[in-house]
Amino acid sequence: MDKQTITIYDVAREANVSMATVSRVVNGNPNVKPTTRKKVLEVIDRLDYRPNAVARGLASKKTTTVGVIIPDVSNTYFSSLARGIDDVATMYKYNIILANSDGNDQKEISVLNTLLAKQVDGIIFMGHHITEALRGEFSRSKTPIVLAGSIDEDKQVGSVNIDYEEATKDAVRLLAKNGNQKIAFVSGSLRDPINGQKRLKGYKDALKEANLTYTEGLVFESTYSYKEGIKLAERIKNSGATAAVVTDDEVAVGILNTLTDSGVKVPEDFELVTSNNSLLTEIARPQVSSITQPLYDVGAVSMRLLTKLMNKEEMEERTVVLPYGLAEKNSTK
Amino acid sequence: MDKQTITIYDVAREANVSMATVSRVVNGNPNVKPTTRKKVLEVIDRLDYRPNAVARGLASKKTTTVGVIIPDVSNTYFSSLARGIDDVATMYKYNIILANSDGNDQKEISVLNTLLAKQVDGIIFMGHHITEALRGEFSRSKTPIVLAGSIDEDKQVGSVNIDYEEATKDAVRLLAKNGNQKIAFVSGSLRDPINGQKRLKGYKDALKEANLTYTEGLVFESTYSYKEGIKLAERIKNSGATAAVVTDDEVAVGILNTLTDSGVKVPEDFELVTSNNSLLTEIARPQVSSITQPLYDVGAVSMRLLTKLMNKEEMEERTVVLPYGLAEKNSTK
DNA sequence: AAAATAAATTAAAACGGTTGCAAAATTTCC
DNA sequence: GGAAATTTTGCAACCGTTTTAATTTATTTT
């Protein structure tokens, strides 16, 4: 009953050659006489033969598939990276298996293992905090791995990021220059080294530079959501801060809208700089000044780097740092 | 040099059983004596054996992988669907290969073919307009396919959607009820049957119902982007419309912000209803009334439907229509 | 306790390709 | 025209599982 699938063997028979020759034709191997190639191609076309990628994968030990571990595709930050990843993957004839982890330590490990079981040729990992266990899995596996928009001290794997520390510093500098004495730092989990180490350090350093004192009371940790921003607004206002650097656009806009709705004038009474320069910053009124990150490129470059690792190409540096910018809009003076 | 991979054969040898028995243990086949099972599991654990999914796929003709064709992951509408798809996929032990098509006819076909070559067990397709060529590929392949948030007359494949026609009708009814005589219809490409057939029909029907006349001058076709909304605002205003149903939130907010910035009072002078109820509708000021669609669920249900098709379960209906709602916020009176 | 039945296990054939090596065919060179 | 060199081709092992049919072992039945 099954519309039986036609195999390389069928093609070989019809074309009066061996499977080996068909395989060579399919793989563009040059050691085939032009006339033979033509004959085989005709049969392939006539039978509408399509090589079974699974069988190929088994025989060649290459699946032309890479695994992508992502906290949440429906989050624009990550989906922008994902888009960059897929575009470059496609360019190099790879497909991506996309797996959401919710940034959950357990899921990250289990998903990593299923990806390895599926024999992906490489892995791109996006996450917040890399646990010791995960790091262990990373080094155990001989499959190349690249971190995209995620950092880890252990430089065993490749990674692509921007200089979060300097970027945050620039943002705080701007706020300090504008005369703010109390600048809040509103970030996601400080467990994420991007926040807890890089950005926080940038914040502290910039304060010091401006002769401002660091107080824990001005540091706010939150989850990434608009609602969280709304909740936070009151507390930030009460802290006496007159400005804030925020690491997430949703949170930033939540704060902005809440303050504005309660009569606070932005930027006159309160200044705000956020970090991802997403569409939200354009839509909000006033528009929100923001650090700009080349998200798509971070993804694209990660995948490019991964292709090099998969090809075992020699390379200078596997830790890439992309340039960032600062877009001054209307939430800063 | 290669940390050589350990195979089912190694486990068999170490455990003094045949590969077949190991295979049964791994697959939870009950026909294994408990003591044997235990012995094998110990060896598996000791050797840290992990079944090669590619070999399994070849032997069993099942890859526990489904292909997902998506116009653009970085678009929140689709990434919401994608998230629902992946969650249910994970629940049923499937992984997804995600491939962006940009809604491009050519890419859709080529991507479909590589997914089939990779022997995915099923496919979820999201797209705007299904060409004859694509439909041909669909029916040629015996791999189950489900359309998510996409429609096609040809009911050969499964699909999950909301009733776009009724939803649009409801939105227009609301605007008509509020006294608007000239209601604009701002949609994406009319080539997409969701717009060109369903929604447009709902729009026309509602107009008729309210004794309003349909004019082409009030129909605006645009691409889905904030910028496009900005451009459109002026034209819409000049059309004499005092209200609009918009099919995309970015476009809607673009229109809203532009009108507001130019002094038009919303909802007093102009009313607006959009269609996806994304975060943008909350962030914009005033907040935008919107049709509500269970995007995550559309994805989730699509995947659930696909699992049934992959299992060859008998079922009544493979065309699922999920409920929608209408959230009245501040862009309508 | 032998015969019949059921349960557990094994051997070996797929699954559909790739690839190293040897053989065959072709071309080159004197 | 024939040996040597080169290009094409085919053979067959291999990739790591699943799965069927056959065999062995254990359990019931009488």
Interchain pair A115, B96: CB under 8 A:
no
How many Å apart are B54 CA and D14 C1'? 15
How many Å apart are B314 CA and D27 C1'? 40
Tell me the nt nearest to A15, Cα to C1'. D9
Choose the closest CB to A83 out of B73, B253, B280.
Answer: B73
How many Å apart are A22 CA and D5 C1'? 26
| pLDDT the model gives residue B66 | 98
pLDDT tens digit string along A104-159?
Answer: 999 999 999 999 999 999 999 999 999 999 999 998 889 999 999 999 988 889 99
* Contacts A104 to B, Cβ<8 Å: none
Place of tokens 């705007």: B128
Tell me the nt nearest to B56, Cα to C1'. D17
Give strand C nucleotides closer than 7 A to any protein Cβ.
Answer: 7-12, 14-20
How many Å apart are A58 CA and D23 C1'? 31
Q: How confident is the model at residue A182 (pLDDT cuts 50, 70, 90)?
A: very high
Tell me the nt nearest to B50, Cα to C1'. D16
pLDDT tens digit string along B253-293?
Answer: 999 999 999 999 999 999 999 999 999 999 999 999 999 99
**How far does the CA of residue B13 sit from the closest CA of chain A (Å)?**
21
Choose the closest CB to B54 out of A80, A97, A118.
Answer: A118
Interchain pair B76, A73: CB under 8 A:
no
* Contacts A117 to B, Cβ<8 Å: 50-53
* 3-class DSSP state of A208: helix
Q: Check whether A264 has a pLDDT greater than 90.
A: yes
Token pair of A213 as six digits: 């004192």
| pLDDT the model gives residue A3 | 52
Residues in CB range of B89: below 8 A, 6 or more apart: B66, B95, B96, B303
| pLDDT the model gives residue A72 | 98
Interchain pair B100, A86: CB under 8 A:
yes
| pLDDT the model gives residue A5 | 87
Interchain pair B90, A82: CB under 8 A:
no
Closest CA to A275 of A305, A255, A304: A255
B139-146, Cβ contacts within 8 angstroms, sequence gap of 24 or more? B141/B112, B141/B116, B142/A2, B142/A3, B143/B116, B144/B306, B144/B309, B144/B310, B145/B306, B146/B122, B146/B302, B146/B303, B146/B305, B146/B306, B146/B309, B146/B318
Give strand D nucleotides closer than 7 A to any protein Cβ.
Answer: 7-12, 14-21
Interchain pair A76, B79: CB under 8 A:
yes
Interchain pair A76, B80: CB under 8 A:
no
Choose the closest CB to B82 out of A73, A76, A279.
Answer: A73
Interchain pair B100, A115: CB under 8 A:
no
**How far does the CA of residue B309 sit from the closest CA of chain A (Å)?**
16
Chains A and B form CB pairs within 8 A to the count of 132
| pLDDT the model gives residue B316 | 82
| pLDDT the model gives residue B3 | 52
pLDDT tens digit string along A1-55?
Answer: 345 689 999 999 999 999 999 999 999 999 999 999 999 999 999 999 999 999 9
Our CA dihedral for B59, B64, B69, B75, rounded to 10 degrees, sits at -150
Residue type, B76: T
Interchain pair A82, B73: CB under 8 A:
yes
- Can you tell me the mean pLDDT for A171-180? 97
Q: Tens digit of pLDDT per residue, chain B (333 long)?
A: 345 689 999 999 999 999 999 999 999 999 899 999 999 999 999 999 999 999 999 999 999 999 999 999 999 999 999 999 999 999 999 999 999 999 999 999 999 999 999 999 999 999 999 999 999 999 889 999 999 999 998 888 999 999 999 999 999 999 999 999 999 999 999 999 999 999 999 999 999 999 999 999 999 999 999 999 999 999 999 999 999 999 999 999 999 999 999 999 999 999 999 999 999 999 999 999 999 999 999 999 999 999 999 999 988 889 999 999 999 999 999
Please, what is the Cα angle at B7 between A130 and A104, to 5 degrees?
20
**How far does the CA of residue B195 sit from the closest CA of chain A (Å)?**
24
**How far does the CA of residue A166 sit from the closest CA of chain B (Å)?**
27
| pLDDT the model gives residue B1 | 35
Place of tokens 């002769």: A211
Please report, rounded to a whole number, the percentage of residues in chain A having pLDDT higher than 70. 99
**How far does the CA of residue B213 sit from the closest CA of chain A (Å)?**
34
How many Å apart are B110 CA and D7 C1'? 35
Question: B113-137 b/e with 16+ CB inside 10 Å = b?
Answer: ebbbebbbbbbbbbbbbbeeebeee
* Contacts B65 to A, Cβ<8 Å: 97, 118
- Can you tell me the mean pLDDT for A67-72? 98
Phi-psi region of B102 (alpha: psi -120 to 50; beta: other; left: phi over 0): left
